[in-house]
Structure 1
Amino acid sequence: MLRLIDQGWRLVADDQVMVSAEAGSLRAAPPAALHGMLEVRGLGILRDLPVAAPAVLRLVARLVPRAEIPRLPEPEAWTAAGITLPVIRLDAFAASAAALLRLALLAALGRARLEAGAFTESQFTGPQGA
């Protein structure tokens, strides 16, 4: 998460996330007591960070060991409140994790075309669109 924030992304929530369904999409927000807080290993707990919440969920990233990430993954999906999102498997400790997440999000938003793998346009058509 820290690498993404360093690249200009904004925090939604750390450790605990409240997910709700609204107008055909899932939204994520931090609990009020944790709003704007981020725990950074080796530094401590930061407060009053800019927050992009509530945020519409477009993609689910499952944090798994590298050994559980196939070179060409089969499509996966996650469903909550009747809303289905594409899933990617991500090794959070890989140097490429932030770049992979950014590319997967572009594909989930329809801004990049994923020909095969974790999900494609023909395998996933969510209510969120591009």
Structure 2
Amino acid sequence: MAATTRQEFTAFYLQRTTQEFAEDLDKVRAADDFKADSVPFLVHALQQGTELYSARDQERVVRPAAAKMAAADEDVDMVEPTAVANDEEEQNADAVAIGKKEKTDKKERKEKCKKKKKTTSG
């Protein structure tokens, strides 16, 4: 990976990280024990987060168009769009059915508890 890609990704990562954690970073900077010489340490700590991403991922973020072309060159299993749509519909239907079953089971357990309370208290 080119050094410029790494530098561009690091700049992008720091920008996004500081945006996402702006409130927390403000609290750190406002702390009594935070000094001006702590800034490089804080920046270095944030930069280390870039190591979590592979060179390929960094390249995709920095150069999305180039990454799309590279991805097009890779061997990819092609799936019929309708098959994918049907699978998603089936999964959604299954999830709904499971949710309904869980609610029904919960109601049945509540009713059993009520019956037990009535028989033991009466």
Q: Same fold (TM over 0.5)?
A: no
- The structure number with the bigger radius of gyration is 2
The structure whose residues are more often strand, as a share, is 1
TM-score bracket, normalised by the shorter chain, equals under 0.3
The structure whose residues are more often helix, as a share, is 2
Higher RCO by CA contacts (8 Å cutoff, separation 6 or greater) = 2
TM-score normalised per structure 1: 0.20
